[in-house]
Amino acid sequence: MLQDNPGVFPRVKVPSYDRAGLRPGIVHIGVGGFHRSHQAVYLDRLATAGVSSEWGILGIGLRSGGAREELLRQNCLYSLLERSPTGDEVRVVGSLLDYVHGAREPGRALAALTSPETKVVSLTVTGDGYGPEEPLPRFIAEALRLRREAGIPPFAVLSCDNLPENGTTARDAVATYARHRDEDRFAEWIEANVPFPSTVVDRITPVTEDRHQRLLEREFGIRDLAPVVSEDFSQWIVEDAFGAERPPLEEVGVQFVPDVAPYELHKKRLLNGTHSAIGYLGHLCGHDRIDEAVADPVLRGFCESLMGEVAPLLPPVLGLDVDAYRATLLERFGNPRVGDRLRRLCGRGSTKMPAYLLPSLNEAVEQGLPHRTLTLALAAWVRYLTGVDLDGRPIEVEDARWEELRPLARAATADPRPLLEVRDVFGSLADDDEFVDLLTETIQLLYTRGPAAATESCLGSGEALAA
């Protein structure tokens, strides 16, 4: 067990710092696999570098405990299995110091959030967690209120979710909660005084499976109840707008910039948009993992064509070679040692598609730029939303709006316009008759000829699609 003595594993990087001397300057809400493979690793590296002892993590889970019980049994130590195409590396991460279940222990959670030691509250709760009925805005607002009343400076709120302008999203969620309580002046104080830096985060983190635990025990001698798995690539870009204290993460590879927007746009449109698209089309083609899908020449061509349609819509970013970035993404998707499940990529489509892929499609239609592959990606999602694959097998769709969208998706073969009229998802696509005709043809092509033939036609000429 990791709790016993992590230093006994000769092939594993272990914390070289005194965890007892590490103070929890960061409270993180949403202690899932991505946080433990990404932000917690950077803070572990920071502690290892000996730059500061102020930036340990106290974790809070709001919806469920996740792996809380397992982590507490291991003194919140866990192993990270980093998988490159050529081999594996393992490190034991020690930056997570404690883990509170917010729903069961609201007093402890608020005490952590109101502690003067807490300088930053970071978040990975997914896009759905910012809704007005969700616990996150309430916890943040109540903690800020208590700090204000006690004369304690506000903490910075650092959203690390894959959302457009995630800092603004977090600010709006917290301020809206305050206004719903008829506290307009408090909401204005939040907007004026609380820093909400935006971020771009990137690391493919598949769901940990039993086979990963067996590999750790067999190859590295580690019996871990709560390991995480990731690729070997990692990126974190942060808006340098903290107001007061912030962790010196630039010492361990984090890039602080005045404005993350252009970086965010490239990452979300090219990586996340392609992730969603290959998830739906790859599933319909019968693939289970993204590396299998990218190894399929037809689907690899689909990814290349999709990114080729998206790239001209993006603003230039100083120092970013877009062609090289696109090639790197395909290499990462094709890493067989990560093997991200397409089912994970397909989840929460009604949240992810409007954030990652549909903005590119709307812009391409409006500007008269090529969008045939983007249209096929949308058609694949529409087919996925029917809940039945092309062989008649049921699809377990994980989407909060599935009951609303499913009947519209099933009717879209004849006429997709009623589905496109759900404008908070699809934007203004229903207003373009030429596009509606193209989408109708593409959906029908998926039904009649199957996903592989539909993709080949899409990647060929316009005449091939119309045939």
Percent of the chain with pLDDT over 70: 97
Residue 318: band (very low, low, confident or very high) from pLDDT cuts 50, 70, 90: confident
Helices 135-150/184-193 angle, 10° precision: 80
Query: What's the confidence (pLDDT) of residue 163?
Result: 87
Question: Whole-number mean pLDDT of the chain?
Answer: 94
**Cβ–Cβ < 8 Å for 304, 330:** yes
Instruction: Find the radius of gyration of the CA atoms of the chain.
Output: 23
Q: Are β-strands 228-231 and 235-239 bridged in parallel, bridged antiparallel, or unpaired?
A: unpaired
Q: Are 62 and 139 contacting, i.e. CB atoms less than 8 angstroms apart?
A: yes
How would you classify the pairing of strands 199-202 and 156-159? unpaired
pLDDT digits (tens, 9 = 90+) for 121-149: 999 998 889 998 899 999 999 999 999 99
pLDDT of residue 5: 62
The topology under which CATH files domain 6-257 is: Rossmann fold (3.40.50)
Kindly list the domain boundaries of the chain, sorted by start residue.
Answer: 6-257, 261-466
Residue 48: partners with Cβ closer than 8 Å, 6 or more residues away? 15, 16, 17
From 95, 110, 85, select the one nearest 231 (Cα to Cα): 85
Q: Hey, what CATH topology would domain 261-466 get?
A: N-(1-d-carboxylethyl)-l-norvaline Dehydrogenase; domain 2 (1.10.1040)
* pLDDT tops 90 at residue 229: yes
Mean of pLDDT values over 168-184: 95
DSSP state letter for 267: I
Question: What's residue 465's pLDDT?
Answer: 42
Q: How far apart are CA 366 and CA 223, in angstroms?
A: 54
| Predicted confidence (pLDDT) at residue 462 exceeds the cutoff of 60 | no
Pairing of strands 78-84, 228-231: parallel
Please name which of 191, 274, 206, 202 lies closest in space to residue 238, comparing C-alpha atoms: 202
343-365, pLDDT tens digit by residue? 999 999 999 999 999 999 999 99
Tens of pLDDT along 200-218?
A: 999 999 999 999 999 999 9
| pLDDT single digits (tens) 1-12 | 675 566 667 789
Separation CA 408–CA 391 (nearest Å): 20
Which residues face 289 on adjacent strands?
Answer: 341
C-alpha 143/C-alpha 178 separation (Å) is 12
What SS3 state is found at 61? strand
- ∠ CA 246-63-29 to the nearest 5 degrees? 5
pLDDT of 379 > 80? The answer is yes
Distance of alpha carbon 241 from alpha carbon 347, whole angstroms: 32
Query: If you average pLDDT over residues 393-422, what whole number do you get?
Result: 97
Looking at residue 1, what is its pLDDT? 60
Q: Give the separation between CA 329 and CA 274, rounded to whole angstroms.
A: 9
State the Cα–Cα distance between residues 211 and 218, nearest whole angstrom. Answer: 10
Helix (H) or strand (E) holding 110: helix 106-114
Q: What global pTM score does this model have?
A: 0.89
Tokens of 397: 């769709």
For range 400-417, the mean pLDDT:
97
* Whether the Cβ atoms of residue 121 and residue 158 lie closer than 8 Å to each other: yes
Closest CA to 127 of 170, 179, 78, 79: 170
**Of 26-35, 111-120, 129-138, 224-233, the least confident:** 129-138
CB 247 within 8 A of CB 46: yes
Q: How is the chain split among helix, strand and coil, in percent rounded to 5?
A: 50, 15, 35
CA distance 30 to 98: 13
Q: Which of 112, 5, 111, 126 is nearest to 64 (CA)?
A: 126
pLDDT of residue 178: 95
What is the side-by-side order of every strand in the sheet holding 199-202?
199-202, 235-239, 255-257
What is the average per-residue pLDDT within 44-70?
A: 92
DSSP class of residue 8 equals G
Which secondary structure element, helix H or strand E, spans residue 155, and what is its range? none
